[in-house]
Amino acid sequence: MEDKLTKAVIIESLHNKLGINRSDIHLIIDELFEEVKDGLKDNRIIELRGFGTFEVRIRKGREKARNPKTGDVVAVDRHGVAIFRPGKELKDYVWNITTGPGESD
């Protein structure tokens, strides 16, 4: 079993389960992601019951941050970051997983 679940794999799986045209599934998934992004851009909380919540949190700016690639000291302005909080059902669903992708028991 492959460790990565891509959008293409999800589309193929939904096509096999539901018999819906792949291009229609692709369009629906893309539009769902656009709705989530637009909601976050408008600073709205996106709650998907049984799955989790997406929202924007504001990170404060700093005068002395470090660029991890170059090591240079840079100033970082106050900015938003997208966060995801899993819902109770999702937390319960994955609770007993004890190894990460690519690890063996």
pLDDT digits (tens, 9 = 90+) for 12-47: 999 999 999 999 999 999 999 999 999 999 999 999
Confirm whether 90 is domain-assigned: yes
Q: Return the pLDDT at 102.
A: 77
Q: From CA 51, how far away is CA 71, in angstroms rounded?
A: 38
Asked whether residue 55 falls in the same domain as residue 94, the answer is yes
CATH of residue 85:
4.10.520.10
Asked whether residue 34 falls in the same domain as residue 17, the answer is yes
Asked whether residue 40 falls in the same domain as residue 56, the answer is no
Q: Print the domain residue range for 38.
A: 7-44
Q: b vs e for 59-71, b when ≥16 Cβ sit within 10 Å of the residue's Cβ?
A: eeeeeeeeeeeee
Confidence of residue 2 (pLDDT cuts 50, 70, 90): low
Confidence of residue 78 (pLDDT cuts 50, 70, 90): very high
pTM of the model: 0.78
